[in-house]
């Protein structure tokens, strides 16, 4: 999506759009030093995904291009069930389930549709309750849903829309599914993973990474790519903190690579600059089938290290300095805890906190 950013900057200058120095530097990095799509670990989903027998999988944004392809590839390897978590539909997701089934042979894992609007806490709460009532375990959660749009807006609870959907909605959903994830992690032979989809576009975040004082409201004074960028910085920080606080769970953030998806098509409708530079995209982008390999490697592959950010395929540690800032990720976690507590969701103790309390109790008893 960001492969045509240089042309965007040139056209932006022509039409007198103000570009700050940070955006210019980030744009240059993305264009010249971006991740590409063909480096890293060789990974063929057909042969390299192990048996997923007995596993339950949840994919947000599973009705979109990337999420649907992730479901198709994972369904070939015999999981117990795959949940497609996406926006409510009039047909209750039957058309999405049918499309996935049509891409597979007659025999494949059962596909279930889970209606969820990540811009609404109430919808997230309802979806999590539905899942938890139906399943005893959750082995793989792929937090894939996301938006990037020019128009400003807010979620139901009043958060900036990109941050609310790309980050905060997923943070709440993970929090509500945490008991299932932790229960599964305690089972013999378990390999529980949370794959949070970020982007190399996190480099477009504003100075400081996340503007905490502006997350409530539409953030109309922040450029759309900065709003998107800070949401993706948040996703990286979330994966790092989740991994640190719950070591039983392997949590990572991934960049899919440069792919033409529905998100890019939607952005073209809103942005003249994107329409002008769209003809360059085929020179830099890969198909969805290739683009999902980093998702799939992170969800099922060997040698995945928890807490890391990976670019395609399995290339770690290429995030920006601000995205690597542990103080920022800790601040984000605490901010998130306070926001969700104020919305009526109780604080969840981390495994390290629980262990520490247990140790103190033992010391008191001796």
Cα–Cα distance measured from residue 141 to residue 192, given in angstroms and rounded to the nearest whole number: 8
Q: How far apart are CA 88 and CA 297, in angstroms?
A: 29
Residue pLDDT tens, the chain, 366 long? 444 544 444 444 444 344 445 544 555 555 555 555 557 899 999 999 999 999 999 999 999 999 999 999 999 999 999 999 999 999 999 999 999 999 997 788 999 999 999 999 999 999 999 999 999 999 999 999 999 877 899 999 999 999 999 999 999 999 999 999 999 999 999 999 999 999 999 999 999 999 999 999 999 999 988 999 999 999 999 999 999 999 999 999 999 987 765 555 555 555 544 555 555 555 566 788 988 999 999 999 999 999 999 999 999 999 999 999 999 999 999 999 999 999 999 887 787 666 555 555 445 454
The pLDDT value recorded for residue 358 is: 55
CA distances from 133 to 109, 129, 130, 140 (A): 20, 6, 5, 17
Domain, as residue range, for 282: 5-365
Q: How many structural domains comprise the chain?
A: 1
Active site residue ranges: 228, 232
Give the per-residue pLDDT at 1. Answer: 47
Residue 318, pLDDT score: 95
pLDDT value for 350:
80
Closest Cα partner for 114 from 98, 129, 136?
129
| pLDDT the model gives residue 13 | 40
Please list, residue by residue across 196-228, b when 16 or more beta carbons sit within 10 angstroms of its beta carbon and e when fewer do.
Answer: bbbbbbbbbbbeebbbeebbbebbeebbbbbbb
Is this model's pTM higher than 0.85 or not? yes
**pLDDT recorded at residue 348:** 79
**CATH number assigned to the domain comprising residue 78:** 3.40.50.720
Structure tokens at 199: 């982007």
Instruction: Assess contact for 62 and 68: CB atoms under 8 A.
Output: yes
């Amino acid at each position: 999506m960001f492969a045509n950013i240089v042309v965007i900057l040139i056209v932006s200058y022509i039409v007198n759009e103000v570009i700050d120095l940070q955006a210019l530097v980030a744009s240059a990095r993305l264009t010249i030093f971006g991740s590409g799509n063909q480096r890293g670990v060789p990974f063929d989903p057909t042969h390299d995904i192990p048996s997923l027998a007995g596993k339950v999988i949840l994919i947000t944004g599973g009705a979109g291009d990337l999420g649907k392809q992730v479901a198709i590839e994972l369904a070939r390897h015999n999981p117990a069930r795959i949940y497609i978590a996406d926006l409510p539909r009039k047909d209750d997701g039957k058309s999405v389930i049918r499309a996935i089934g049509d891409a597979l042979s007659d025999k494949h894992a059962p596909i279930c549709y889970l209606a969820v609007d990540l811009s609404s806490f109430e919808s997230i709460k309802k979806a999590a309750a539905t899942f938890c009532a139906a399943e005893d375990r959750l082995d793989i959660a792929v937090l894939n849903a996301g938006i990037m749009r020019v128009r400003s807006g807010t979620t139901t609870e009043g958060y900036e829309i990109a941050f609310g959907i790309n980050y905060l909605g997923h943070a709440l959903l993970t929090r509500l599914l945490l008991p299932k994830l932790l229960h599964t992690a305690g089972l013999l032979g378990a390999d529980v993973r949370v794959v949070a989809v970020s982007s190399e576009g996190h480099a477009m975040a504003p100075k400081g990474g996340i503007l905490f004082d502006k997350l409530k409201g539409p953030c109309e004074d922040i450029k759309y790519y900065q709003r998107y960028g800070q949401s993706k910085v948040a996703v990286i920080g979330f994966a790092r903190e989740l991994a640190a606080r719950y070591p039983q769970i392997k949590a990572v953030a991934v960049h899919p690579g440069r792919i033409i998806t529905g998100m890019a098509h939607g952005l073209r409708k809103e942005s003249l600059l994107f329409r002008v530079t769209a003809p360059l995209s085929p020179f830099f982008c890969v198909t969805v089938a290739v683009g999902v390999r980093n998702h799939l490697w992170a969800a099922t592959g060997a040698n995945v290290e928890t807490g890391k950010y990976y670019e395609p395929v399995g290339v770690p540690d290429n995030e920006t300095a601000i995205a690597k800032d542990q103080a920022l990720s800790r601040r984000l976690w605490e901010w998130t805890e306070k926001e969700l507590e104020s919305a009526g969701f109780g604080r969840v103790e981390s495994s390290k906190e629980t262990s520490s309390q247990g140790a103190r109790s033992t010391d008191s008893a001796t």
